[in-house]
Chains A and B, each alone.
Chain A
Amino acid sequence: MNTAFLRDERLADLLVKQTTEGLTPVEKDELDRLLVRQQKADPELIERVAAALSLAGNLGEEELPAGLRQRVEADGRRLVASSRATVTDIRSRRGEDRSTSTHASQWAWLAVAASLVVAVLGWWPRLRDTMAPESAPELAVNQQPEPAAEPTRELTAAEKRLTLLAKGETIVQSAWSATGDPAAPGVTGDVVWDNGSQTGYLRFSGLTPNDPSKSQYQLWIFDATRDDRYPIDGGVFDVPAGQTEVIVPIQAKLDVKSPAMFAVTIEKPGGVVVSGREHIVALAKVAAG
């Protein structure tokens, strides 16, 4: 096992802190940059050492409570049984989305949105009023798989995000604030957006993993040049379990001219054209100027 990368004290410090008490978003960014430079680094090595050490301790012999075991087993059987069908279903749905959205989706979206003005009137302004001040962000894991992943080494979403951030002053970066929704009680992370290339990434930790057969997260982008009642659909995404940080590419369905706020809701699988108001899980307000 090559551990030469641990001679970089800062990299080692960050990997240790990640393993023992977690990283702040700033530290996570720094770690990502260091890992990009250290292509041979094993980012999970310290975690595996800590796991082996955990197993070297006297943990006690208390048994998993029976009621909890039953719940875990029922959930597990359901999830495992549905996993393959779910993956197939989502892939085919995404294919349909792509094929049907090519020509008509933008206008259709606007038309449907306009017809539902009454339904949404008052929702988004209310959101702005209730949004908490930006909290100190924290980090999260990955990952919505990049579309059309290549068999050759392609930059990961985390690396693309860092590349975008490196463009500097023109980049919008804003931290998520929780709304109190139970799906994201301690959501942290940030949005990175570049108007010039119309690309961006969402980074989260603390979003509850979703079952894509039941619901998906959906991003909405508020543009200062547009009516607040008609935010731009930023695409749907999933939060897989087992990862601490999720990094998701933004897929804005319309040109974003002046992003003012980003919002994430929980919607039915495939997303919606106009959101209801039931589950608003995270908000990121863009600082003026």
Chain B
Amino acid sequence: MSESVLKRIARGDERAVTDCIDEFGNLIWALARRLSRTRADAEDAVQEIFTDLWRSAGRFDPAQGSEKVFITTIARRRLIDRMRRSAHQPGGEPVEILDAVGWAEPGTRGEICVEAERAARAVASLRPEQKKVLELGILQGLSHSEIAALTGMPLGTVKTNMRRGLIQVRELMDVVVEDAAGGVQP
């Protein structure tokens, strides 16, 4: 098995920088576009995310998940932080409207990483309102208040659906693993 690109970065292998951008650059760009107000914001965010990545590559632990999940976690953390900061700043450029992003069909995410496929299968089994709240909050980056305004759900219901939905996905991802180990497709 080839060495993880993050491990190579952590030990100072400059070529791993290029390999990492080849492998994950489009993913980080896609996440940044989805969770940034404008294209310019997304470009700034991508630079910050990669800087975070170069410096935290040594923290990658394959026992906790794949490189894609580790990198997506770092990217989301930075993007949420930027969104929170921009929310405190008045005015700014108008938000660019992108096509709404939805859930991929289960069975189509395996090529991305095993956790993505498990999550796709898990989310498909959620109640519609939980699925919708996760879609708006996780994929589209809307705040709980924005989700409440958009869906008409009370804020408390949005929060409950978000919490229960995430926990349920976590539990269902474990079930998928157990079923797969037993040779049964979920």
Report which A residues bind B (CB closer than 8 A): 1, 3, 6, 9, 12-13, 16-17, 19-22, 44-65, 68-69, 71-73, 75-77, 79-81, 83-84, 135, 138, 185-186, 205-206, 209, 240-244
Contact = CB atoms under 8 A, between A and B. Distances in A.
Interface in B71-130: 72-74, 76-78, 80-81, 83-86, 88-89, 99, 101-104, 109, 112-113, 115-120, 123
- Nearest 10 CB-CB pairs, A to B? A242-B56, A55-B116, A186-B85, A51-B72, A22-B84, A76-B17, A242-B52, A59-B30, A52-B119, A56-B120
B80 A77 contact: no
Contacts of A46: 166, 170
- Central interface residue in A51, A55, A56, A62, by most chain B CB within 10 Å: A56
7 contacts: A3-B167, A47-B77, A55-B68, A64-B25, A64-B46, A69-B21, A72-B47
A65 B104 contact: no
A189 to B, nearest CB: 12
B47 A75 contact: yes
Taking chain A's interface residues, is the majority helix, strand, or loop, or is none over half, making it mixed? helix
Given A52-B169, A76-B50, A80-B54, 17 more contacts: A3-B171, A13-B163, A16-B166, A19-B166, A48-B64, A49-B173, A51-B70, A51-B73, A55-B115, A56-B104, A65-B43, A72-B46, A73-B18, A80-B13, A84-B12, A240-B55, A242-B74
A254 B173 CA distance: 54
B37 interface: no
Given A3-B167, A68-B46, A20 B30 contact: no
B72 A58 contact: no
Contacts of A69: 21, 25
Nearest to A49: B170
Contacts of B50: 72, 75-76
A76 B54 contact: yes
A75 B13 contact: no
Contacts of B109: 55-56
A59 B135 CA distance: 12
A21 B43 CA distance: 20
Interface in B25-43: 25-31, 33-34, 43
B21 A64 contact: yes
A53 B109 CA distance: 11
Given A186-B85, A209-B52, A73 B69 contact: no
